[in-house]
Amino acid sequence: MEANSKDTERLAEEEKTKTYGSFEFDRQDETSLKGGHGGYWNPCCPSGSDAKRTGHETYTVRTKSDDEVAKTPHEEQAKLPYDADSLRRAAFWVVVIGAVFMCIVLVMEATNASNPTQLPDFNGPVGWIAVLGALFLFGSVGLMFKEPADEYGEKPDAVLFQAFNALGIFVVGVPLMVFECQSGDDVREAVDFSWLDWLGLLGAIDIIIVSFWAHLSTQLIGYAMAPAVLNGVGMITSFLWGKIFFSEPIRNMAGALFSLFLLVLGVMLLGATQLANMAAARREGMVDGHSTGSSSIATAAAAAAGFGAGVMSGVFDGALMVPYKLHERQLAGPAGLSPKHTLAYLASFSVGSLLTAPVLIAFAAIREAKDDTGSDWKNTFTRKLKRSAVPGGVTGVVWAMGNFLSVHASKHLGMSVGFPLVQTGILVAAVWGVFFFQDLNLSRLHVLLLFLAALGSLMAGAACLAQMG
- In the listed set 60, 87, 103, which residue is the last one of a domain according to the structure? 60
Residue closest to 168 by CA, chosen among 91, 228, 90:
91
Task: Check whether residue 170 and residue 140 sit in a common domain.
Answer: yes
256 touches 469 (CB < 8 A): yes
Give a yes or no: residue 441 inside a domain: yes
Give a yes or no: residue 411 inside a domain: yes
pLDDT, tens digit only, all 469 positions of the chain: 555 555 555 555 554 444 444 444 344 443 333 333 333 333 334 333 334 434 444 444 444 444 444 444 444 455 777 888 899 999 999 999 999 998 888 888 777 655 555 666 666 778 889 899 999 999 999 999 988 887 778 889 999 999 999 999 998 877 766 665 565 444 444 445 566 778 888 988 999 999 999 999 888 888 887 888 887 788 778 777 877 888 777 778 888 888 888 878 887 887 787 778 777 777 766 544 444 433 444 476 777 788 889 889 988 988 888 888 887 777 665 445 555 666 677 778 888 888 999 999 999 998 888 877 666 788 888 888 999 999 999 999 998 898 788 877 877 777 667 766 777 788 898 888 888 888 777 778 888 898 889 878 877 877 777 677 6
Domain count, the chain: 2
6-14's contacts with Cβ under 8 Å and 24+ in sequence apart are 13/49
Give a yes or no: residue 67 inside a domain: no
Task: Check whether residue 13 and residue 141 sit in a common domain.
Answer: no
Give a yes or no: residue 379 inside a domain: yes
Task: Check whether residue 118 and residue 33 sit in a common domain.
Answer: no
Whole-angstrom distance, CA of residue 121 vs CA of residue 410: 10
Task: Check whether residue 261 and residue 290 sit in a common domain.
Answer: yes
205 touches 356 (CB < 8 A): yes
State the pTM of this model.
0.72
Task: Check whether residue 119 and residue 45 sit in a common domain.
Answer: no
Task: Check whether residue 222 and residue 330 sit in a common domain.
Answer: yes
- In the listed set 12, 36, 60, which residue is the last one of a domain according to the structure? 60
Task: Check whether residue 151 and residue 11 sit in a common domain.
Answer: no
Give a yes or no: residue 68 inside a domain: no
Residue closest to 409 by CA, chosen among 95, 136, 94:
136
Task: Check whether residue 299 and residue 388 sit in a common domain.
Answer: yes
Task: Check whether residue 303 and residue 236 sit in a common domain.
Answer: yes
Residue closest to 409 by CA, chosen among 129, 103, 100:
129
Q: What is the pLDDT of residue 198?
A: 83
Task: Please state whether the peptide bond connecting residue 334 to the residue before it is cis, i.e. omega within 30 degrees of 0.
Answer: no
Residue closest to 48 by CA, chosen among 38, 58, 57:
58
Task: Check whether residue 293 and residue 431 sit in a common domain.
Answer: yes
Task: Check whether residue 52 and residue 78 sit in a common domain.
Answer: no
Share in percent of the chain as helix, strand, coil (round to 5): 70, 5, 25
Count Cβ neighbours within 10 Å for each residue of 84-100 and write b for 16 or more, e otherwise: eeebeeebeebbebbee
- In the listed set 33, 60, 87, which residue is the last one of a domain according to the structure? 60
Contacts of 95 (CB under 8 A, 6+ apart): 394, 397, 398, 401
Give a yes or no: residue 403 inside a domain: yes
Q: Which domain holds residue 406?
A: 73-468
